Amino acid sequence: MKQFALKGLKSVSLGVYLILMVFPLLWVAITSLKPQKEIFTYPIRYWPEALTLQNYADIIRVSKFQIYIANSLFIALTAALIVSVISVLSAYIMARFKFRGHSQIMLAFFLTQMLPGFVSLAPLYMLMTKMDLINTHFSLILMYTVGLIPFSTILLKGFFERIPQSLEEAAMIDGCSRLSALIRVILPVMMNGITATFIFAFVQNWNELFMAVMFIDNEGLKTLPVAMNSFVMKFDIDWGAMSAGTMMSVIPTVVLFAIAQRFIVDGLTQGAVKG
């Protein structure tokens, strides 16, 4: 009886948690389908009298929303790919070799995760200005890549340490070089970890706002979070457009998570066993 009560309490708790997590997204979805006059009606109307796609049509017609999405996809995918490649190599080195300064490098990686990102915005802006990289996508790709490599290396290092060295040693005995053994033998085994790292990097890049606001001022180069921020005006907020834009911006991440859900769970849990 006690065990049954505990299971029931657990189910109820999970149900309440699920509702709390899903309701905000559901409310945004409903708001995106409301006519403008119904968004501000009082008492609150939880379901519109007539569903409309006018908010979606407005942001596509009036703004350069397609360009913003394309910019965000290009920057997020490029930076995530670079982060994944560099982190695989650096994590392999940190996991397989012991050298002078090894512990200090890992400590530095951990310390970077304790500092809030906005602390470095001012010096980074000055650096980008001197390098004449303001209003370029390259500046965001560079900053996103540098910012995510430490965490991605820590994550993949734990995954490498789970794989026996005997696998690559056997491949090297059969004539493979160390790099060839890494590519042909080790990487297929740890594809879950690589996928989890790539998706984590993509989502972080896709949602990043502060650097994009500081480094990009050209309308045609703006990313999606910057465009969403423009819906917040001085005396008003365009809730309909913001809700529609939010729903459209969620689609790429939902699709990625749906496709690679198993890889993400396996990669994060296995990579966290050893650090």
For residue 41, give the DSSP letter.
-
CATH of the domain at 256: 1.10.3720.10
Domain membership flag for residue 57: no
Residue 232: beta bridge partners? 237
pLDDT at 262: 65
Q: What's the CA gap between 177 and 72, in Å, rounded? A: 38
Q: Which amino acid is at 164?
A: P
The residue among 121, 83, 84, 81 whose CA lies nearest residue 212 is: 121
Number of continuous H segments (helices) and E segments (strands) in the chain: 14, 0
Q: Is residue 53 part of a domain?
A: no
State the pLDDT at residue 1: 65
Sheet strands (E) in the chain? none
Instruction: State in Å, rounded, how far the first CA of the chain is from the last one.
Output: 41
Q: Which amino acid is at 268?
A: L
| Tokens coding 13 | 């708790």
* 107 in a structural domain: yes
List the chain residues with pLDDT less than 70.
1-2, 62-63, 234, 260-275
Cis ω before 116 (30° cut-off from 0): no
DSSP helix/strand/coil, 233: coil
Give the model's pLDDT for residue 95: 87
Q: What is the pLDDT of residue 155?
A: 86
How far apart, in Å, are the Cα atoms of 36 and each of 20, 52, 76? 26, 10, 32
Task: Give the tens place of pLDDT for each residue, 134-157.
Answer: 888 999 999 999 989 998 998 888
Tokens of 273: 């066993």
Number of structural domains found in the chain: 1
CA distances from 179 to 16, 35, 81, 163, 242 (A): 49, 58, 19, 16, 48
107: its two tokens: 């400590």
pLDDT at 186: 85
Which domain does 95 fall in, by range? 64-271
The answer as to whether 194 is a domain residue is: yes
pTM for the whole thing? Answer: 0.79
Q: CB burial class (10 A; 0-12, 13-18, 19+) of residue 94?
A: buried
Decide if 202 is inside a domain: yes
Measured CA to CA, the distance from residue 275 to residue 153 in angstroms comes to 10
Residue 166: inside a domain: yes
Is 260 contained in some domain? yes
**Using CA atoms, how far apart are residues 261 and 195, in angstroms rounded to an integer?**
10
Task: Classify residue 47: in a domain, yes or no.
Answer: no
